[in-house]
Amino acid sequence: MGLAVPGVAVSASATEDEVGASGPTLEAVLLPTINGVARYGFQLSATPGEWSLPGATFSYQWLRRGEAIPGATGVTYTLTQDDVGTRLQVRVRAQVGGLVGKAKSEWTRSVAKAVPKVKVAVSKKKVARKSRPHARITVTVHGTKQPVGKLIVRVGKKKLFKKVTASKYGHIKVRLPKLRKKGIFPVTATFRPSAPTKALARPADSRPFLLKAH
């Protein structure tokens, strides 16, 4: 579930020319909020808040560093690479007849990089001692089908290093070292992205695959 981000104390009202000096004003009683996870590739949604007059219609403008994001005028917004490391707001414009009011939400948290999914699979859970089974490792990064970086594969205390190139499309085959003793060996993989994937994703680890040597 996403977190609701409370609005800042920024009220909104119609101008004097629109309503007259003693006329009604259109103000945000409860300010707009942003819901969702501030992470690359995730979608945020805005709620307009509550306003001093009923029957208002609303329009939205998403802001990055206080500046309008071109084309980001819907009630929802999907976070892009340009948003990573920044904070966002949404500005809501309310209208009732000829009255217009505006209000901004609170800033989101700083938009985080994507979390890659790293999965290790070995064709058999039990292998003969001193054999060298193959492991298939899948790296999935939201926003790209061709992640690049370095892969560190651990089998017990042993390490293997593999380069993840764009041509692999996140699928890497690794021949594991010999398992000289009987026992259960956890097989794990760590993905460390490099440019350009590094700009949108952080390092990530797989869950261990338990391999039994007999």
What residues does each domain of the chain span?
3-104, 117-213
Q: How confident is the model at residue 7 (pLDDT cuts 50, 70, 90)?
A: very low
User: How much is the pLDDT for 10?
Assistant: 37
Question: Does position 9 have pLDDT exceeding 50, yes or no?
Answer: no
Fold of 117-213: Immunoglobulin-like (2.60.40)
What is the CATH code of the structural domain delimited by 3-104?
2.60.40.2700
Question: Does position 14 have pLDDT exceeding 60, yes or no?
Answer: no
Fold agreement between 3-104 and 117-213: yes
User: How much is the pLDDT for 22?
Assistant: 57
Whether the ω angle into residue 196 lies within 30 degrees of 0, i.e. cis, is yes
Q: Look up the pTM and report it.
A: 0.74
